[in-house]
Amino acid sequence: MTDFEFLGLAPKLTAALTRAGLTQPTPIQSKAIPLALAGHDVLGLAQTGTGKTLAFGLPLMDHLLARPGKPAPKTAKALILAPTRELVNQIAESLGALTGGTRLRVATVVGGQSINRQIGVLGRGTDILVATPGRLIDLMERGAVDLGSVRHLVLDEADQMLDLGFIHALRRIAPELGTPRQTMLFSATMPRQMEELSRAYLTNPCRVQVSPPGKAADKVAQSVHFLDKPGKPAKLREILSRDAGALTLVFARTKHGAEKLMKSLVADGYNAASIHGNKSQGQRDRAIRAFREGTITTLVATDVAARGIDIPGVAYVVNYDLPEVPDNYVHRIGRTARAGREGEAIALCTPEETGLLRQIEKLMKAAIPVASGTRPEGPVEQGRGTGGRPRKRGRAGPGKPRGDKAPARRRRRKAA
């Protein structure tokens, strides 16, 4: 008998887990699965790479196996919402690997792919629908999907969905779901808005937490290099050359920056590719597949595009640009040291990014060890952006309040 069997899962699922070589549940799985099997709403907090997908996926499939009958055309019995195409595909792949020998069907709907093909798939009905909110709403408006039969809702990477402004999409989708239903919300971080989200959509949830929010994975060795901006390209090449052939994920702040950096690496002979919002879904899928297989060893990515990259072999994460949202640092470095392995996270910090670094360290309640350079001294002014530099705002004119042209992300948060 495996440890998964002690959790009370259906024999078909435990057999599928055994065939997949999975016998020992992770801490988040051990805590969340029994509560979810009992029908409770669950608020799960755990570091990335700790097995959150199966923590909600296994009890979800167990409940569906206990409900006889095929899904009606255009309906789904369970809905999993995730913020990015890559994460949707990763969730569907993980669950699909365990549905062999069962009647359960898993379908995905994401932007960047043929909506007519997705309409055809949904026309046959599905047990589990994994979707990005935007494309799901497109299909709802076309009458291609009826969510009234959904009795299980999962919000994965909920903090990222909030940051991307998906709260408005959730408010559009939730009223269409069936009741009563079980809702599970999983995330690696716990911003204030997510507390509000849990109160709005979860009923007496059981909170499951295996690490403090904002805490980095224990097996990630972190370091930071302090240097001037012109020194970043040379330092990155030094890092990549140190362990040639190791899978390295490099984070850039912008789509343009990621593409420019990738092209410069390729020009210098490095085996690199990029994923970001300007890439088609096919291009992103091919790049991730090549990275997983090792034919590409350096993948340059932006935050949004990198969500859902679940590749245990990633040895290094390089923060070429520090993220403007401190929580994203935790998500970034969580792309390494997955499935119990060790990994290394390296940050490059310019004087202009010192403020961002201090916000990250404040979130983690720990200073990142210095690998080279000198840590700047002195406080960072409140209300400033990167390294104390004022953020750009629109000019105030007659009858127009200052800040009218604030970044869209800030406006979305205020509206939410």
Q: What is the mean pLDDT of residues 321-336?
A: 86
Mean residue pLDDT of the chain comes to 84
Cβ burial 98-114 (10 Å sphere, 16+ → b, else e): bbeebebbbbbbbbbbe
Query: From residue 161, how far is each of 81, 189, 194, 297, 409 by CA, in Å?
Result: 9, 12, 10, 29, 12
Distance CA 147, CA 145 (A): 6
Distance CA 229, CA 305 (A): 24
For the chain, helix (H) and strand (E) counts, in that order, are 17, 14
Residue 258 has pLDDT above 90, yes or no: yes
In this structure, are residues 165 and 412 in contact, taking their beta carbons and an 8 Å threshold?
A: yes
Can you list the positions of beta strands (E) in 115-178? 126-131, 152-156
Distance CA 309, CA 387 (A): 29
The predicted structure's pLDDT at residue 352: 95
The mean-pLDDT minimum among 82-96, 208-222, 270-284 falls in 208-222
* Domain 3-209 is found in CATH 3.40.50.300: yes
Distance CA 346, CA 357 (A): 12
Q: What is the mean pLDDT of residues 398-408?
A: 38
Residue 144 has pLDDT above 50, yes or no: yes
Alpha helices in 297-404 (DSSP H): 303-306, 326-333, 354-364
Distance CA 80, CA 76 (A): 10
Would residue 395 be called left, alpha or beta, if left means φ above 0 and alpha means ψ between -120 and 50 degrees? beta
Higher pLDDT, 271 or 304: 271
Q: What is the mean pLDDT of residues 130-137?
A: 95
The predicted structure's pLDDT at residue 341: 73
The predicted structure's pLDDT at residue 330: 82
Instruction: Identify the band that residue 371 occupies on the pLDDT scale cut at 50, 70 and 90.
Output: very high
Residue 390 has pLDDT above 80, yes or no: no
Q: Helix or strand or coil: residue 178? A: coil
**Which residue type, as a one-letter code, is found at position 192?**
R
Residue 1 has pLDDT above 70, yes or no: no
Residue 88 has pLDDT above 60, yes or no: yes
The predicted structure's pLDDT at residue 280: 82
Q: What is the mean pLDDT of residues 370-376?
A: 93
Q: In CATH, what class is 220-388?
A: alpha beta
For 159, the enclosing helix (H) or strand (E) is helix 158-163
Q: What is the mean pLDDT of residues 68-73?
A: 91
Residues across the chain = 416
DSSP lists the bridge partners of residue 300 as: 250, 274
CB atoms within 10 A of CB 268: 11
Distance CA 88, CA 112 (A): 13
String of DSSP letters for 30-41: HHHHHHHHTT--
The predicted structure's pLDDT at residue 312: 76
The predicted structure's pLDDT at residue 216: 55
Peptide bond into 205 cis (omega under 30): no
In this structure, are residues 89 and 49 in contact, taking their beta carbons and an 8 Å threshold?
A: no
In this structure, are residues 320 and 274 in contact, taking their beta carbons and an 8 Å threshold?
A: no
The predicted structure's pLDDT at residue 257: 95
193-205 pLDDT, tens digit per residue, is 777 778 888 999 9
From the list 224, 406, 396, the residue with the least C-alpha distance to 319 is 224
Query: Considering the chain, what percentage of its residues have pLDDT values greater than 90?
Result: 57
The predicted structure's pLDDT at residue 414: 37
Q: Which two tokens stand for residue 54?
A: 């199966």
CB atoms within 10 A of CB 1: 7
Residue 208 has pLDDT above 80, yes or no: yes
Query: From residue 242, how far is each of 105, 198, 236, 245, 249 by CA, in Å?
Result: 45, 45, 10, 9, 15
The mean-pLDDT minimum among 133-142, 175-184, 316-325, 395-404 falls in 395-404
Residue 219 has pLDDT above 80, yes or no: no
Higher pLDDT, 409 or 109: 109
Kindly list the domain boundaries of the chain, sorted by start residue.
3-209, 220-388
Q: Do domains 3-209 and 220-388 have the same CATH topology?
A: yes
Distance CA 83, CA 157 (A): 7
Distance CA 39, CA 163 (A): 29
The predicted structure's pLDDT at residue 218: 60
